[in-house]
Amino acid sequence: MTIRVAELTDIEQLQLLYQKQLKTQQVYQPYYFKADLPAVDFLEETIKSDQAEFIVVEHEGQLIGMAALFIEETLPYECYVSHRYLNFADLYVEEGFRNKGLGKELIENVKKWGKEKKVDYIELLVLRENSKAQALYLKESFETVHSVMRYKL
C-alpha cells in the first residue's frame, strides 16, 4: 500500500471514494448530508491548489482511503487571535481495509503536510454519532475544543 498526494489521474476514483464517505455521513445524519458525487471541478481545484490537498491510500492500483485538507485562516474579528490552520475536512478508508492502521497512517501524513505548510494547528469536525472516528482522533492527540449545537426550525 502506498500513501501519497492525489493526482489529476485519480479524479474518477477519488470521486467515487468521496461519495462513499458522504454516504456514511448520510447514514449518521440524513437531515444534513446527501451522497452526491463531488464535483469534478472541486476535486481538480483541490489537487492543483498549493493551499489544499487530498492524501490518498493506493492498493493494487485502487484508491482505498483518503483525507481532504484545506488551509484556512481564522475570521478577521478583533476577538480572535489570528491563525493559519489546516481544516482536516474528511477522512475515509474503505470498509474492507479498516482496523489495519490506515487511518492512523493517514493522520500521520496529515500532520506532516500541516507542518510542511507551517500551519498553527489542525482542526476537524467529527459527527457526534461517529464514535469510532472520535476515538481515533483522541488517540492521535486531538482534543475537543468546542461543540456545535443546532436547533431545527
| For the chain, domain boundaries | 2-139
**What's the average model confidence in pLDDT over 21-39?**
93
Predicted pLDDT at 106: 97
Predicted pLDDT at 27: 94
Query: Could you tell me whether strands 52-59 and 2-5 are parallel, antiparallel, or unpaired per DSSP bridges?
Result: antiparallel
Predicted pLDDT at 62: 97
Predicted pLDDT at 115: 97
Q: How confident is the model at residue 46 (pLDDT cuts 50, 70, 90)?
A: very high
Buried b (16+ CB within 10 A) or exposed e, 47-68: beeeebbbbbbbeeeebbbbbb
> And the C-alpha cell for 2?
502506498
Predicted pLDDT at 32: 93
Predicted pLDDT at 29: 94
Query: What pTM was estimated for this model as a whole?
Result: 0.91
The CATH number of 2-139, from 2.40.40.20, 2.60.40.3080, 3.40.630.30, 1.10.260.40, is 3.40.630.30
- CA-nearest of 46, 53, 55 to 108 is 55
> And the C-alpha cell for 25?
455521513
Q: How confident is the model at residue 117 (pLDDT cuts 50, 70, 90)?
A: very high
- pLDDT tens string 123-151: 999 999 999 999 999 999 999 999 889 99
**Burial (CB count <10 Å: 0-12, 13-18, 19+), residue 20:** middle
Predicted pLDDT at 113: 97
Give the mean pLDDT of the chain: 95
**What's the average model confidence in pLDDT over 103-120?**
97
